[in-house]
Amino acid sequence: MYMSNSTGDKPSTPLHSVSVAGAVIREDGRMLAIQRRDNGRWEPPGGVLELEETPEEGVVREVLEETGIHVEVEQLTGVYKNMARGIIALVFRCKPSGGEARVTPEATAVEWLTPDEVKKHMGEVYEIRLLDAIDPNCPHVRNHDGAHLIPPP
């Protein structure tokens, strides 16, 4: 995504897309995850933040749409930038407050995973978002290339 400069020449100012995700954690320590219908990957529930909503409103909406679970937002646990695509993801730790986990148009499976199962099922850039949410030293700021974390300079 690029914005044209004032002279109408070729695009010059890159734009970023902002997404939100919920690190929904039950009292027993299990974490909510979905298997995405579009690519089959396991990820925390989330999606693109709408222009008219706050990040907290967006995460509540996305988690409900993708899983059927109502949540209460507790705190920001991480900011993650996909350096290749210009996507910034804000991840919030949430606690479930109602609803039933169900398959949705976005998810072929909705599961409550242990931290070990998260490590087994998810790619590194999604796994870290859930594991960071249970780290007392959050929030974290991390960069990645879409598949792998990029070490800090």
Tell me the two tokens of residue 84. Answer: 């290749």
Each residue's pLDDT tens digit, 13-51: 678 899 999 999 999 999 999 999 999 999 999 999 999
pTM to 2 decimals? Answer: 0.89
- Judged against a pLDDT cut of 50, whether residue 149 lies above it is answered with yes
pLDDT of residue 10: 54
Contact (Cβ atoms closer than 8 angstroms) between residue 92 and residue 54: no
> Does residue 149 belong to any structural domain of this protein?
no
Residue 8 domain-assigned (yes or no): no
Element (H, E) at 128: helix 124-133
Confidence category of residue 153, pLDDT binned at 50, 70, 90:
confident
Question: Which tokens in the block code for residue 109?
Answer: 């499976």
Q: What type of residue is 142?
A: R
Whether 2 maps to a domain, the answer reads no
> Does 152 fall in a domain?
no
In a domain, 146, yes or no: no
Contacts of 62 (CB under 8 A, 6+ apart): 20, 21, 22, 45, 46, 47
Q: Give the tens place of pLDDT for each residue, 71-122.
A: 999 999 999 999 999 999 999 999 999 999 999 999 999 999 999 999 999 9
Asked whether residue 88 is domain-assigned, the answer is yes
For residue 83, the domain's CATH number is 3.90.79.10
Total domains in the chain come to 1
Class of residue 43 by CB neighbours under 10 A (exposed 0-12, middle 13-18, buried 19+): buried
What pLDDT, on a 0 to 100 scale, did the predictor assign at position 3?
Answer: 39
Domain that residue 82 falls in: 13-137
Alpha-carbon dihedral sign for residues 83, 136, 109, 63: negative
Q: Dihedral through CA 122, CA 58, CA 89, CA 40, nearest 10?
A: 30
* Average pLDDT score over residue span 58-77: 98
Q: Indicate the pLDDT class of residue 11, thresholds 50, 70 and 90.
A: low
- Residue 153 inside a domain? The answer is no
Decide if 116 is inside a domain: yes
